[in-house]
Structure 1
Amino acid sequence: MKYFKQLLLLLFLHSYFSHSQSLNEKIIQIKNNLSNPNTTDSLKIKLYSDLCWYYGSLNKDSASYYGNLALSLSQKTNNLKGQAQAYNDLGILQYKTSNFNKAVSYYKKSLVIRNKIRDTLGIASLYNKLGIAYQRIFKMDSALQYNTKALEIYEYKNIIKYSAIVRNNIANVYSGLKLHKKALKEHLIIADIRKKINDDFGLVYSYTNIGNSYLFLKDTIKSINFYNLGISIAKKNNYKKELGTLYNNLGTIHKDLGQYKKAEILLTKALNIRENINSKYGIASVKLNLGELKLRLGKLSEARKKLSNGVKLFKEINANDKILNGYNFLLQYHAHKKHTDSVLIYQKLVNTMQDSILNSRITKEIAEVQEKYNTAKKEKEIALQKEEILENELKIKNRNLYATLLGGALLIVGILSIGYYHRSSFKRKQLEKEIELKDALSKIKTQNRLQEQRLRISRDLHDNIGSQLTFIISSIDNLKYISKDLNDVLKSKLTNISDFTSDTIHQLRDTIWAMNKNEISIDDFSTRLLSFIEKAKEAVPSITFKYKNNIPSHINFTSIEGMNLFRVTQEAINNAVKYSEGDLIELNATQKDNKLQLTIQDNGKGFDINNVTLGSGLSNMEKRMSSINGSVFITSENGKGTTITLQINNTTNDV
């Protein structure tokens, strides 16, 4: 076994250094050409650009150095083509290092120049890159606009392979907007195109995306079928990166279906491949998946190791969203182990990371508004330049048409008829795309307005009401401290007011937590509930609490559903603690048919429902569940405890 591991390590190192050696040989050859005294400036610019590209995979600082050399020499010699290429290369370098806003800035500088020199295919390439970059910074309206522009050029030039690539990017934007049926329709069209032109590499991506779309639409059977089709092609062609992605996705499905043995095999394959190609992000992602799987299997020590390694790798690449997921899983681990101090520590880490992500998003939104304002004038100039180019192209077409007329009247009629047909068809397709684009933009604007309103209200709650409540607690504590001669009754009253205010702050934080999310996952809900249970354990150590979640992790609630369900569960637990006189409270979350069900059961004294008047607490619980189209049921019997059952419809991923 030890020998086998050593052999695998040697094979990996050989593969890695062989690739590096190949690049280094190319770099040495280019530098030799640069040292030739007869090398012209235009050739030097090209060689500098080549060095920028090759160093991009080895050393980012060296890549930036040669990219700037290419730009400087191009500007000095007024080589517009070289300037455009240099800005393009520097943009790619910024994109690789996740500086997406800087990448957009470089791409736009390149675009201005390529419009001047009428480099149509270069323009299309930049439109595509801009669309991808805007997608990464969640500006879906801009992403759709630039991808659509790129698609128009590639379809006009009849470049089928690149048209399919851009269509794929547009479909991914639809997925980002949760328009999964639209995304699926596009991906199926793209797959047919790639099959016809024998584009195996592109077909693997199409099958992966189709599988993802079916998964979002809750059709796991079709999702698994398309993932397996992708795996078959990726194996045949040795597409390692893509194979790792497919194994990871397929393993996640089997994990959520409760098929843990199959899931572990697939996820382990994904991990081996990603370690072989040294994909840090991919390795970290699979380790979190495996860690969650080990949690479900009750293999807690293995779970902690995988989760800790995954979080460590994500910290190295500053993937805050993934770090937050890892913290949530580690919180669950410590809850299982009943490490109260660690649960509180990780709950604090989760809250801090959520605040950091929220603040980062707010800062980005402010910067984007400022950027739009600053670039409006430049975009207008670009539009005018584009109009001039189109006018010149029209003049050229007219001259060609007049020359063609000399060839004969019949030929002219035929050409005009064909041209009219194609133009009408093109306009019709363009109109359909514009209508789809307007629909998508309208949805984006509505989502942006809702998110801004949520952020404004949550900030007001946190900054105003939260600080005022904290001041009240501090004032009461100071009053108790300086007024040592107060009688016990008054001190007790002050303590009750302080405790009530503290509880109000916790409820306020829960409300802000729900408001800052469009959706609340079952994992988020469970984490919040476990945190509440830990506090209940500290308050009443004589009662044992048990919580079991059998709902798949892809299930989500709306923020309103999640908040109301959480509040009703809190009320049910508090009632059991106060009145049941039992020593065990069990919570069980399950999915049955199209219903999600949460039961809260105690082993207390119970009561006769027919002979007891139920108070306002139950009325509030029923109102909350009714407001989210849910139900609450109570069963109880003297001496046999009480069971409260909460039911809500499962509407996850409805489109």
Structure 2
Amino acid sequence: MTKKRIAVIFFGLFCIQLVAQVREHKVVDSLNIKAMELYVSSTNKAMELLGKAEKIAKSEKLDESLGYTINNLAIVYRAKGEYVKSKQLSQEALSLVKGNSVKASTFNNIGACNRSLGLYEESLKNYLEALKIYEATNDLKEQGIVNNNIGMIYSSLEMYDKAKTYHNKALSVYKKLNYKKGLSEVYNNIAIALANQDSLQKSLLYFKFSLKIEEELKDKKGIAESINNVGGVYHYLGKTDSALYYYKKSAEIERLIQNFSGVATSYNNIAQLMLEEGKPILAKSYIDSSYTYSKKSKVAESLLESIQNYAYYFETINDFKNANLYNKKYYTMSDSIMKSSNLKTLHELEVKYQTAKKDTEIAQNRAELAENELKIKQKNTIIFGSLGFAFVLGLLGYLLYNQQKIKNNQLIKESELKEALVKIETQNKLQEQRLQISRDLHDNIGSQLTFIISSIDNLKYFDVAKEKLVSKFDNISGFTKNTITELRDTIWAMNKNAISVEDLQIRITNFIDNAQLATHGISFDFSFDDSVNASHEFSSIEGMNIYRIIQEAVNNAVKYANASQIKILLKQENNKMIFSINDNGIGFSEPEIELGNGLNNMKKRALELNADLKIISEKDKGTSILIKKEIA
């Protein structure tokens, strides 16, 4: 057999194999398209079709088609509420695909899963990666989807105005494209933000817009979510019969489509309604079911809500030990989610993304300027050859002037962009301070007001004997006065851009004077060393944290130390400001005591201050607390 004939045979076999691969590609694509048309109404059928597509792609070693199929399978698992499984599949798909559209889809799905799991920082990173690709490919519909998803992150973090900004970006795109499903989702998300801002009637209107579209689309999952949200607004409006009707209807649909996270949400809502209606036994059965479904779906928000409902249930039946236990679980888990999603980092991610876009614009401007300069030089060369030396000198002068003008314009543009970036950075720092102060309000004032409300509600369970009521009201009165004092302290900090050492001295002196009046047998001494620069300024957050640590230290000494003398000293050594709080009380051994909220709060505030905190105490020898803060 000749070499030529062998070559012809091999070429023929290659062509046959290529045609077979093209055919298999089409089969896999067709199965994927059918599955994604069906997954909303029938997840099982969709998974069956995707399983066939996956088998073909693996057998033919079609990596791109396999990655596309696996990511679609991940989307179906997310629709079922199985977020961990969905995230794992999209990460597997990401390692297989090279095409931009599928890669962006995997980032978007991972972002959605991370958001549902309470991993907000990771979620924003994933969404921004998807958004970059969709902007580069000018895919308007997908840009709208990602902007809508980013808005949902900010709603989860209770930043509702920022959430509505992103939802409205998506809304303008969806209206332009007449994308019904997108319009339903964005109406739903705007309604959630409005409801949390107490615009309930407007929120109900948007939820009904969403429900109407979902019913037109016959999307069971979307219908269930919209019905549940309508029930939520009726709940807030006090229309309990309407709320219960919608909650139960939503739960029924979620069970049919096996969306466990949706079932958990509906049951949580029914449980809250039952507790408010004074039906704790019925509420308990719904809380148990909600907790089970929340753990099964691994949705952080639903699990948090179930734990909080347990706390309310035990308060209602006067089991305060278990109520306190579940409240602790709730706040521990809530703090864990907030820490894992550092708000400052989220803002930095967004600024980096916006900065990268501006850098790209600058680079494009420079490229255009370079092209223009090249064209001018080419024209200049032609003119030089035809018109002579004198004309060229004039033309060169004009070109130099024009070039300088272009450079000046470029410098102006760059300066404007830098100013814009500085403004963004300043706004983010201000936002960070506001968030820290609002968190202080939430942690201190919120929990105290919750205690006051709970105490007043529980009065109806106490004996009506006058002396017991007087004692109970005295406790509530004292706690309320303490809450008002803390609120005033926080407002004092919020009203100042900066807090000077002199401001702190005045505030601490007032606090000591009040403590002197409220206690007997304890002498207080607040001294101010001559070395201290009284005009030095701290940020409002730093000043508030220093004041709170001193306040906590003094309160601990008054309550627990049996001290007869408490001394507070402020001095300055080189570039360090030093605050010391000393008492001559009974002292304690730190390893032998259980750290309470007081000591933990002091350590947490010192960490936020970037300051050293030392607690020196010995039994029967008193306690010393030192705060060392470096200053510029």
TM-score by length of 1: 0.48
Structure number with bigger Rg: 2
TM-score by length of 2: 0.49
